[in-house]
């Protein structure tokens, strides 16, 4: 395998060049970012990912603002160089590992320019290994770190500038790598056919002096497959894992969109914890490539390619590729007799059956 720039850094884990990641075609290594105003309906997100065994890098930046969602997308041949984290007009730079990163976009043709820095509020956390199977075949095996942060910088769209500062803009970044479905669809699926099912609610939230990160993966009968609930704050030593985590979900009528959610839990000291989430503006994750039929992650675009498009946020089809969303939301967190007001997102991807919700088919909306 070819030597690359990464081989000049002491990061090897096997006796091979860094460009070699095994035989799995669907190996990926991704940056993900989101950010949003604590008070206004302003949301932005970015992804940049490499697929070493497809020899592709792609990425996107999205902005939801004044009823529109603007998406700048790009793809190129990786040429095995994973440290060249620039694709088209989008660039990601690590300023201080595990602490500070820069995201920039120079899409001058579409009057879309970004220069943003995220600084971690707390230490990054490692989430549990995520493994999903389709019959005997493992289709997802990922490692992920997640970090809550504060944003600073500027966004320019249509000759209007949005000033972003750490007092008013927060968000979450993650780094994940491993195996997940990317690129072209499998030409020979596993038999017999099983209807896809994935129930995913991901809820990172910021409060004045602490943050909460919660997610649920449910099986079709509603029993939890994975539940994570972590609280971080200056008053804690490290991170606190919450116990006895349960949820009560309310949906908007005739949809798979969560309208509100109540999460209850307790900490190791026995304090009762309740978080009430009220969902607001919806942002379509297909703007970042998720479930997009033409600009999905790892698709071969025939070399270097770019696309700018936009969505009307007042029009919500509720079906693929718009099924997967992040909802900019407000929350109240009650810990014992104290109440904290916060801001965050509730990411929602609900595919297939989920008995407690009344979903029985792939996309039905009872």
What mean pLDDT comes out for the span 104-122? 98
Distance of alpha carbon 60 from alpha carbon 91, whole angstroms: 10
Neighbours of 313 (CB within 10 A): 18
Reported as a single tens digit per residue, the pLDDT across 187-217 is 888 888 888 999 999 999 999 999 999 999 9
Can you read off the two tokens belonging to residue 175?
Answer: 């780094």
Task: Give me the pLDDT at residue 188, please.
Answer: 85
Q: Taking 90 as the threshold, does the pLDDT of residue 135 lie above it?
A: no
Residue range 336-361, pLDDT digits in tens:
889 999 999 999 999 999 999 999 99
Task: For the chain, report the end-to-end CA distance as a whole number of angstroms.
Answer: 53
Domain spans, the chain: 28-181+194-357
Under the banding of pLDDT at 50, 70 and 90, the label for residue 15 is confident
> What pLDDT shows up at residue 236?
83
CA 253 to chain centre: 26
pLDDT for 23: 87
Q: DSSP assignment, residue 32?
A: E
Which residues is 175 bridged to in the sheet?
31, 145
pLDDT classification of 186: cutoffs 50, 70, 90: confident
pLDDT band at residue 12 using 50, 70 and 90 as cut-offs:
confident
User: Over pLDDT 90: what percentage of the chain?
Assistant: 83
- DSSP states of 122-175: S--EEPPPEEEEETTEEEEEEEEEEEEEEEEEEEEETTEEEEE-TTTEEEEEEE
* Residue the block writes with tokens 């839990």: 265
Q: How far is CA 30 from CA 24, 61, 118, 126, in A?
A: 16, 14, 16, 15
pLDDT of residue 214: 98
Helix (H, G, I), strand (E, B), or coil: what is residue 184?
coil
Long-range contacts of the stretch 155-163 (C-beta < 8 A, 24+): 155/44, 155/63, 155/113, 155/114, 155/116, 156/111, 156/112, 156/113, 156/114, 157/63, 157/65, 157/70, 157/111, 157/112, 158/111, 159/111, 162/42, 162/65
pLDDT confidence bin for 133, thresholds 50/70/90: confident
Task: Give the whole-angstrom CA distance, residue 113 versus residue 89.
Answer: 9
Alpha-carbon distance of 32 to 58, in angstroms, equals: 12
In the predicted structure, residue 31 carries a pLDDT above the cut 90: yes
Q: Span 9-31, mean pLDDT?
A: 89
Q: Give the mean pLDDT of 264-285.
A: 96
Q: How high is the pLDDT of residue 40? A: 98
Taking residues 11-23, what's their average pLDDT?
Answer: 86
At 14, the pLDDT band (50, 70, 90 cuts) reads confident
> Residues 71-85: what's their mean pLDDT?
95
- Domain 28-181+194-357 sits in CATH at 2.40.370.10
Note the pLDDT tens digit of each residue in 257-267: 999 999 999 99
Angle made by CA atoms 107, 113, 119, in degrees to the nearest 5: 130
Separation between Cα atoms, residue 275 and residue 262, nearest integer Å = 6
> Which range, of 9-13, 46-50, 114-118, averages the lowest pLDDT?
9-13
Q: Residue 93: its pLDDT value, please?
A: 97
pLDDT in tens, 146-163: 999 999 999 999 999 999
What is residue 9's predicted lDDT score, i.e. its pLDDT?
86
Q: Give the DSSP letter of residue 285.
A: G
Predicted confidence at residue 295, as pLDDT, reads 97
Q: Is the pLDDT of residue 237 over 90?
A: no
Phi-psi region of 254 (alpha: psi -120 to 50; beta: other; left: phi over 0): left
CB atoms within 10 A of CB 186: 13
Closest Cα partner for 251 from 130, 358, 329, 106? 358
- Whether omega before 321 lies within 30 degrees of 0, making that bond cis, reads yes
User: What share of the chain has pLDDT > 70, as a percent?
Assistant: 100
Average of per-residue pLDDT values in the chain: 95
CA angle, 290 then 294 then 295, to 5°: 50
| Per-residue confidence band for 132, with pLDDT thresholds at 50, 70 and 90 | confident
Listed residue (183, 101, 199) closest to 150, CA to CA: 101
What confidence score (pLDDT) does residue 207 get? Answer: 97
Answer with the residue of higher pLDDT: 128 or 118. 118
Burial class (CB in 10 A: 0-12, 13-18, 19+), 84: middle
Query: From CA 144, how far away is CA 244, in angstroms rounded?
Result: 23
pLDDT score of 269: 86
């Amino acid at each position: 395998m070819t030597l690359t720039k990464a081989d000049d850094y002491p990061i090897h884990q096997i006796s091979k060049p860094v460009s070699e990641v095994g035989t799995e075609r669907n190996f990926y290594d991704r940056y993900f970012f989101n950010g949003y105003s604590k008070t206004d309906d302003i949301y932005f997100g970015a992804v940049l990912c490499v697929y070493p065994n497809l020899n592709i890098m792609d990425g996107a930046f999205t902005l939801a603002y004044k009823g529109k969602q603007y998406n700048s997308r790009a793809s190129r041949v990786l040429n095995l160089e994973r440290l060249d984290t620039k694709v088209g007009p989008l660039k990601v730079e690590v300023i201080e590992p595990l602490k500070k990163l820069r995201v920039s976009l120079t899409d001058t043709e579409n009057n879309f320019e970004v220069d943003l820095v995220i600084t971690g509020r707390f230490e990054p956390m490692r989430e549990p290994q995520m493994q999903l199977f389709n019959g005997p075949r493992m289709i997802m095996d990922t490692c992920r770190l997640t970090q809550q942060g504060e944003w600073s910088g500027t966004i320019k769209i249509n000759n209007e500038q949005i000033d972003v500062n750490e007092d008013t803009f927060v968000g979450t970044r993650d780094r994940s790598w491993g195996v997940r479905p990317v690129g072209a669809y499998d030409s020979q699926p596993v038999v017999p056919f099983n209807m896809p099912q994935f129930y995913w609610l991901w809820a990172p939230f910021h409060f004045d002096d602490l943050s909460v990160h919660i997610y649920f993966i449910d099986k079709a009968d509603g029993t939890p497959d994975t539940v994570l609930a972590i609280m971080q704050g200056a008053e804690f030593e490290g991170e606190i894992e919450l116990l006895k985590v349960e949820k009560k979900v309310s949906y908007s009528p005739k949809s798979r969109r969560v309208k509100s959610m109540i999460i209850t839990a307790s900490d190791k000291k026995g304090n009762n914890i309740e978080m009430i989430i009220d969902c607001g503006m919806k942002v379509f994750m297909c703007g970042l490539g998720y479930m997009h039929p033409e600009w999905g992650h790892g698709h071969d675009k025939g070399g270097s390619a770019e696309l700018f498009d936009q969505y009307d946020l007042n029009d919500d089809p509720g079906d693929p590729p718009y099924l997967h969303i992040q909802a900019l939301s407000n929350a109240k967190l009650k810990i014992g007799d104290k109440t904290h007001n916060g801001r965050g997102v509730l990411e929602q991807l609900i595919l297939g059956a989920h008995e407690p919700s009344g979903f029985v088919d792939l996309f039905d909306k009872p």
